[in-house]
Each structure stands twice: as structure tokens, then as C-alpha cells.
Amino acid sequence: MDYREFISSLSKEMPPKGIQEQLKALWYDGKGNWQKAHDIADGPSDQLSARVHAYLHRKEGDQWNADYWYRRASEPKPDISLEAEWEMLVKRILKI
């Protein structure tokens, strides 16, 4: 799957089958369902999941919690828009 296909999938009812959980969280966020995205990102403890979790808390406006998750991901908080961070994360997961 490439980025364009992922963006097109946002018009569907369900996320594409077989995508990684982190990408699924971003898919739900892209659909406007922050809570579902957070529920998915809240489970795994790997660094990529922590990174997605950090983005979601940044989007929520909970900066303290976002900073915690950026530290867990071993990455600094980016100085970019939320939209750019979402796109960067999707492309990172798709390995573009």
C-alpha cells in the first residue's frame, strides 16, 4: 500500500485489512475518530506505538501526556503542524 492508496481508504467504512495497528490508529484519526485511534495506540508498548500515542495526545492538547509519550518513543516533539506530523507518521509506517 502506498500513501495515496491509504488516503483513498479513508473514504471507506473500515480500515484496510492487514495494516499495522499503528497505521490503523492513524486511519481512525484521519477519519475523525480520535477516541478509537487512542484506544488502539494505547495498548502496545513498542516505540512506534508510543510515537503515534504522543501525536494523538499532542492533537488532543494534553501536552504533558504528549511529552511523556515522545520520551517513551525516544523522539523529540516535532516543530511541525499536526497535519504534517500525521502525514510523516503514515509515510514512516508505510516506509515511503
| Predicted structure pTM score | 0.95
Question: Does position 24 have pLDDT exceeding 70, yes or no?
Answer: yes
Predicted local distance difference test score (pLDDT) of residue 7? 97
Residues ≥6 apart with Cβ < 8 Å to 47? 72, 73, 74
pLDDT bin (cut points 50, 70, 90) of residue 43 is confident
CA distances from 4 to 1, 39, 80 (A): 8, 25, 21
Question: Does position 16 have pLDDT exceeding 80, yes or no?
Answer: yes
- In 10 A of CB 91, how many CB atoms? 13
DSSP character string of 2-37: -HHHHHHHTTSSSPPTT--HHHHHHHHHHTT-HHHH
The CA distance from 85 to 88, in Å, is: 5
Predicted local distance difference test score (pLDDT) of residue 96? 64
Question: Does position 61 have pLDDT exceeding 70, yes or no?
Answer: yes
Predicted local distance difference test score (pLDDT) of residue 44? 80
Question: Does position 60 have pLDDT exceeding 90, yes or no?
Answer: yes
CA-based end-to-end distance of the chain: 10
Average pLDDT taken over every residue of the chain: 96
Instruction: Domain count for the chain, please give it.
Output: 1
| Across 63-78, average pLDDT | 96
Domain that holds residue 34: 3-10+19-94
